[in-house]
Amino acid sequence: MTDAPRSTPEEPWPVRVVSQKVGAWIAKLGWVWVDGQVAQISRRPGAGTVFLTLRDPSADLSLTVTTNRDVLDSGAPELREGARVVLHAKPEFYAARGTLSLRADEIRQVGLGELLARLEKLKKLLAAEGLFDRARKRRPPFLPQRIGLVTGRASAAERDVLTNARRRWPAVEFRTVNVAVQGPGAVPQIVDALRVLDADESVDVIILARGGGGIEDLLPFSDEALCRAVFACRTPVVSAIGHETDAPLVDYVADVRASTPTDAAKRVVPDLADEVRLIGQARSRLERAVRNLVDRESHRLTLLRSRPVLARPQVMVEQRAAEVSALRDRAGRNLHHRLDAATGDLRHTLARLRALSPAATLDRGYAIVQRADGHVVRAAGEVAGGDPLRVRLAEGELTVTVDA
């Protein structure tokens, strides 16, 4: 479109010109290979043209495909709605209606082997990105207040989940979102339901449930967009798709994989009867433990009370009183003995003092002669005539003068 003059607000392009230029640009795309899911087939009796509605399984997007009946009969004679196809087509833009469609000259229905190969390749890709990592998987709460359920309307899977969950825990609450679980519109509806339930703060866990089916029926649950939506959920997701032998890719991404919808109900909700029984057993064990503890401590108290010190606590006081009395008697005897010994020593010393005392000598008739300066006269030559002397007697004193 580089050869077209640039439009200006003063010279706007007509709609037909825009449509023609879009059609010209699309015509340059040429032939392309397109992969998608057949949402609708329209075969008119007697007409050589067949109309298909091709849908992207991962997005809410579809295109109309026109082809010749012979092309369809030769490439995919048993083609049915919901089948996966690969077709060689040329995009066409109808300027008059402003619509885009595809004109196919070859249609191939994707076989089971090719589907499995694509799924294995996608599985390796998601595993390499860490979507299957066990470390990021979360454990659902023991007793969720509210459970989100994504399943088909009035399906056996919905009935199994609700019936078994309420049988196990009658007070459990559900927020159920019914979606298409197969066909071209399944993936967008399931992804939207997951987003709605994940945004609900009252929902503690989400169950993604579907009954059994063939690989083609379970194909939406191996879709890349759905796997990434489950991985992005903040709320734990339980996958209950098909039977135990079925293993769509969403099973590897989900936090918990249940073999069946019934198994999902058992994994998410505890059994009230079992919990009551466990509580009863725990109470019995606790009661026995308390009783054993009380009996053991009571026995210990009995043993302690049977000891003499507790049976007759006054014995300890009596023993100490006896010891104190004995010590007091011993101290008294020791004191008396020492006093007696000291008294004897004092008497002996007193007798010696009395025997050696000058007073005792005076009592026997002796006298002590002293000069005036108090010096005791022991010899006659120590005094001269006329010296005054003092004579001490046993009783009193005499003052005398030496004559010769």
Task: Give the DSSP letter string of 191-234.
Answer: HHHHHHHHH-TT--EEEEEE----TTTTGGGG-HHHHHHHHH-S
> Which among 248, 242, 246 has a CA at the least distance from the CA of 264?
242
Helices (H), 79-150: 112-128
- Give the pLDDT confidence score for residue 343 in this predicted structure: 92
> Which among 162, 176, 170 has a CA at the least distance from the CA of 143?
170
Q: What is the DSSP letter of 64?
A: E
The answer on pLDDT for 324 being more than 60 is: yes
Q: In the structure, what pLDDT confidence band is assigned to residue 399 with cuts at 50, 70 and 90?
A: confident
Q: Which amino acid appears at position 294 of this protein?
A: V
Decide if 9 contacts 50 (C-beta within 8 A): no
The answer on pLDDT for 79 being more than 70 is: yes
> Which among 68, 91, 60, 42 has a CA at the least distance from the CA of 183?
60
d(CA 300, CA 56): 80
Phi, psi of 364 (to 5 degrees): -85, 5
Which residues are within 8 A (CB) of 53 and not within 5 positions of it... i.e. 6 or more apart?
38, 39, 40, 41, 62, 63, 64, 65
Alpha-carbon distance values, 89 to 50, 63, 106, 176, 372 (Å): 14, 12, 7, 41, 171
d(CA 394, CA 358): 9
Decide if 237 contacts 206 (C-beta within 8 A): yes
- Give the pLDDT confidence score for residue 26 in this predicted structure: 80
Decide if 175 contacts 149 (C-beta within 8 A): yes
Q: In the structure, what pLDDT confidence band is assigned to residue 106 with cuts at 50, 70 and 90?
A: confident
Q: What is the DSSP letter of 400?
A: E
The answer on pLDDT for 149 being more than 60 is: yes
Which of these ranges, 99-108, 203-212, 296-305, 353-362, has the smallest mean pLDDT? 353-362
- Residue 259, both tokens: 């073999």
- Give the pLDDT confidence score for residue 1 in this predicted structure: 41
- Residue 346, both tokens: 């004092």
Cβ neighbour number for residue 101 with a 10 Å cutoff:
18
Question: pLDDT averaged over the chain?
Answer: 85
- Give the pLDDT confidence score for residue 77 in this predicted structure: 77
The answer on pLDDT for 16 being more than 50 is: yes
Burial 213-243 (b: 16+ CB within 10 A, else e): beebbbbbbbbebbbebbbebebbbbbbbbe
Report field, pTM of the whole predicted structure over 0.75: no
Quick one: average pLDDT of 304-332? Answer: 84
Which residues are within 8 A (CB) of 181 and not within 5 positions of it... i.e. 6 or more apart?
151, 152, 155, 157, 190, 210, 220
